[in-house]
Amino acid sequence: MPAAFFGHGNPMNALETNRYTEAWRTFGRSVPRPRAILVVSAHWYINATAVTAMPQPRTIHDFYGFPKRLFDVQYEAPGLPELADEIADVVHPMWVGADIDSWGIDHGTWSVLVHAFPDADIPVVQLSINADKPFDYHFELGAKLAPLRRRGVLIVASGNVVHNLRGMDRSLTDTGYDWAKRFDEQAEQLMLDHPTAVTRLDEHRDFAHAVPTPDHFIPLLYLAGLAGEAGDRPTDVLIHGYAYGSLSMTAYTLDLPCPQAATASSGAAADLPVAVPPDNSNL
């Protein structure tokens, strides 16, 4: 199976059609049908490494201040409890716990999958991001997941390479600040040439602005780890762009070029509601 990283941005993208959601749909139509989808989402950021292991994960609306129609979205994909044991086996001696009741499918996952796999008929399992671990841990864990690709599991990481909510400017709907572009372009160069080098992006002069918190950047390390396990294999750009100055919407694929997605029609990412400041809405 291929693998991918999605810049998911604003959860309102789940309800709209724009060039990013069109690219996500192109991706979903391009991949072989997976046995299951394993997602590393920026929004399950806890002090442990765990996987969901319930037969029917709930749809989690982990945000505030958005319209009711977004809270009405239900992504009713089944789970795959036995995949938790497989994951624990392939990543040994790293420890991964099984979560049978506390989490489910959060918006970092379903806001993309409603476009990529709208029928919600493929089992979905989430892997948490362990907030206590350094970048190298996440890179290594991503590499250890590689055998699952040979067992029909589509591995998807969902975050944003640049994610600074306090820096957002609502008037900059389809562009990025200079510092955001510098950081995102350096990340893209590495992902296209030597993905294993992205673990050193914390040395970039714009890192503090681009990654004020690591939760949305870390998912990229999982795709980089998979690329590294494949011999530092270059990835392909699925789509790239910016939203509100300080969000990168860039997405990458591994072993699945989608050139038609990279040239998708113009159009900004979804608008934000005005009721709640972005940094208080758990974007």
Provide mean pLDDT across the span 85-94. Answer: 96
Are the CB atoms for 46 and 128 separated by under 8 Å? Answer: yes
Mean pLDDT score, 77-105: 96
DSSP letters along 183-232, please? HHHHHHHHHHH-GGGGGGGGGSTTHHHH-SSSTTTHHHHHHHHHHHHTTS
Domains of the chain with bracketed CATH: 3-280 (3.40.830.10)
Q: Among residues 223, 141, 157, which one has the least CA distance to residue 190?
A: 223
User: End-to-end CA distance of the chain, in Å?
Assistant: 29
pLDDT in tens, 197-217: 999 999 999 999 999 999 999
SS3 assignment for 85-137 = HHHHHHHCCCCCEEECCCCEECHHHHHHHHHHCCCCCCCEEEEEEECCCCHHH
Instruction: Look up residue 245 and give its DSSP letter.
Output: B
CA angle 216, 34, 63 (to 5 degrees): 30
Rg over alpha carbons for the chain, rounded to the nearest Å, is: 17
Tell me: pLDDT of 264 over 70.
no
Q: In 3-state terms, what secondary structure has residue 178?
A: helix
Residue 281: pLDDT above 90? no
The angle formed by the CA atoms of residues 196, 159 and 17, to the nearest 5 degrees, is 125
Contact 79, 57 (CB under 8 A): yes
pLDDT interval class at 92 (50, 70, 90): very high
Answer yes or no: are the C-beta atoms of 59 and 105 closer than 8 Å: yes
pLDDT of residue 277: 67
Stretch (H or E) spanning 7: strand 3-7
Q: How confident is the model at residue 269 (pLDDT cuts 50, 70, 90)?
A: confident
Q: What is the pLDDT of residue 180?
A: 98
Q: Residue 25 and residue 17: Cα distance in Å, rounded?
A: 10
Angle at 161 between CA 157 and CA 162, to 5 degrees: 145
pLDDT in tens, 153-197: 999 999 999 999 999 998 898 999 999 999 999 999 999 999 999
Type of residue found at 57: P
Q: How far apart are CA 148 and CA 109, in angstroms?
A: 19
**Confidence tier at 271 by pLDDT (50, 70, 90):** confident
